[in-house]
Amino acid sequence: MRRTKTALTFAAALLGLTTLGSCTEPEPENFATIRIEMSPTNGTTELFAGTTEITATVQYETCLQDFYLVRQPTFQKDGTDGAPVFADFEDRLCSDFMDIPDCEVTEIKQNLIDANQVYSLAVTFKINDPSTLPYRELHIGPLPVEAFAGCDSGQGPSVELRQSGLIGKNSAGTQIWRIGALPGTNIAVANQGAPLRVDLVAN
C-alpha cells in the first residue's frame, strides 16, 4: 500500500511539473524586422517584369552602431551570439511573414567600418516570381528590438532607408528599377507600425 501511495505521489509531482512547464510564457524575441512596401510609380506593375534579384540596404543609426560595436559586439553577424541569429533570419525573412513576395534570401551582409563610417545592413533576395512583387513587403533584419537594444535616453534602435537603398536587377545582373521617392519618414525601428512605402521607377 505504501509503495502504491508513493508511486501515485511521484506521478502527481511529475504531472505538476509538466503543467507548470506548459504554462510558462514564451520569452519575447530580442530581434525583429522592419518592412518596406514596394509601390510602382503610377501603378505601372510592368516595372517588376524580369526582376530576379533585389538588394535592400538600411543604415544603422547611433544606437545600433553602439549596440554592435560597444554594448553587444558578440551579436555582430560573425559573433558567437550573432551568427545563429543571422542564420535564423536568413530562413525566416521569406517564409515567416504575410504580404511577402515569392523569394529566398541569398545573403545578409553587415558592415561596421569605423574608418569609413559605414554602418549598414543589406539583404539580398532571389525573386522566384516577379508578379508577386507589386505592393508586397520586404522584411529587413535582424534588428534588435527596443527593449533589448539598450539605447541611451533620447535615442531609438532605428535605421535609415536612403534613396539608393532598394534596387532590382534582372537575370543579367543589370539594375532595372530603383527608388523614385522615399516616404515622408524614412526612419524605422524593428516592429514598426506601418511599413516604409517607397515609390519605385525604372532605372
Query: 76-88 pLDDT, tens per residue?
Result: 999 999 999 999 9
Q: List the one residue out of 198, 84, 88, 187 whose CA is nearest residue 136.
A: 198
pTM of the model: 0.86
Q: How far apart are CA 48 and CA 203, in angstroms?
A: 11
Place of cell 536568413: 90
Residue 28 is predicted with a pLDDT of 58
Residue 77 is predicted with a pLDDT of 98
Whether residue 45 is predicted with pLDDT greater than 50 in this model: the reply is yes
For β-strands 31-40 and 196-202, DSSP reports them as: parallel
Whether residue 4 is predicted with pLDDT greater than 50 in this model: the reply is no
pLDDT in tens, 136-183: 999 999 999 999 999 999 899 999 999 999 999 999 999 999 999 999
